[in-house]
Amino acid sequence: MKQVTATGQTVEEAVESALAQLNTTKDRTDVDIIDVGKKGIFGIFGSRPAIVKVTVIIDPIEEAMKFLSQVSEQMGAPAKVEIKHEGKQVTFVMTGEKIALLIGKRGQTLNSLQYLTQLVINRFSNQYLNVVLDAEDYRNRRSETLIQLSHRLAQKAVKTGKEVSLEPMPSYERKVIHTALSENKRVKTSSDGSEPHRFVVITPVRR
């Protein structure tokens, strides 16, 4: 958190001094007036400077976007980032010529980036925000694959009478599995393990 205390002949001058030191604008800060100051006789004798404390307001979404831009650049796959914000969910959609590098095998790189972005955004946010990171509509394509996979593994669990564990995946993908099998009365699903290695377990229902 960037914060400075500044003085000036007036509150306005003190604020301007603080903004110059912080290299920011007033609409991006919180201003706390510590002392309004005093002009004094002839503007000199008995005068007291105004004192203000100015704090920069950090936008968590902006910080997350900067993080993604820097990481993609360092990975040799510079990306343009588009933001969709609905309630407590923030979706970052990345596009670029080498976007496949950011997706990785079975989306593992994308999932890792999503987890790190989640940490960054909530470091600066006053309320918990859920992050979804997408690229080339990968999440929709992945959801369709997961739905097919869940039905196939549910049949396996019923046939063998043994529970089936899936690979670790983020909460967004685990939810797809739980939802896909929610109406299947022959199995039940649960999550096990701890983040970021939490996974879904499909258990056959004994009759």
What pLDDT digit, counting tens, does each position of 58-82 carry?
Answer: 899 999 999 999 999 999 999 999 9
Give per-residue pLDDT as tens, 103-129.
998 888 998 999 999 999 999 888 999
Residue 42 has pLDDT above 60, yes or no: no
Residue 183: strand, helix, or coil: coil
pLDDT the model gives residue 13? 87
Q: pTM score > 0.85 for this model?
A: no
Burial, 111: exposed, middle or buried (Cβ in 10 Å; 0-12, 13-18, 19+)? buried
pLDDT the model gives residue 57? 86
Ordered by start, the domain boundaries in the chain are: 3-56, 60-136, 140-204
Query: Cα–Cα distance between 33 and 36 in angstroms, integer?
Result: 7
Nearest to 93 by CA among 146, 36, 34, 137: 137
Q: Are 183 and 198 in contact (CB under 8 A)?
A: no
Q: Residue 46 gets which letter from DSSP? A: T
Q: Are 76 and 70 in contact (CB under 8 A)?
A: no
- CA–CA distances in Å: residue 96 to residues 19, 64, 109, 200: 36, 18, 15, 32
The share of the chain scoring above pLDDT 90, in percent, equals 60
Q: Residue 105 gets which letter from DSSP? A: G
Please count the other Cβ atoms lying within 10 Å of the Cβ belonging to residue 182: 10
Q: Distance between alpha carbon 179 and the CA centroid of its chain, in Å?
A: 23
Structure tokens at 137: 């509509």
CATH number for the region 3-56 comes to 3.30.30
Q: 1: pLDDT confidence band, cut at 50, 70 and 90?
A: low
pLDDT the model gives residue 134? 94
Q: What are phi and psi of 138, to 5 degrees?
A: -60, -40
pLDDT the model gives residue 58? 87
Which tops the pLDDT comparison, 195 or 175?
175
Does the structural domain 140-204 have CATH classification 3.30.1490.20? no
Residue 163 has pLDDT above 80, yes or no: yes
Q: Which fold has domain 60-136?
A: GMP Synthetase; Chain A, domain 3 (3.30.300)
Residue 41 has pLDDT above 70, yes or no: no
pLDDT the model gives residue 43? 55
End-to-end alpha carbon distance in the chain: 58
Nearest to 124 by CA among 64, 180, 70, 68: 64
Query: Cα–Cα distance between 203 and 181 in angstroms, integer?
Result: 11
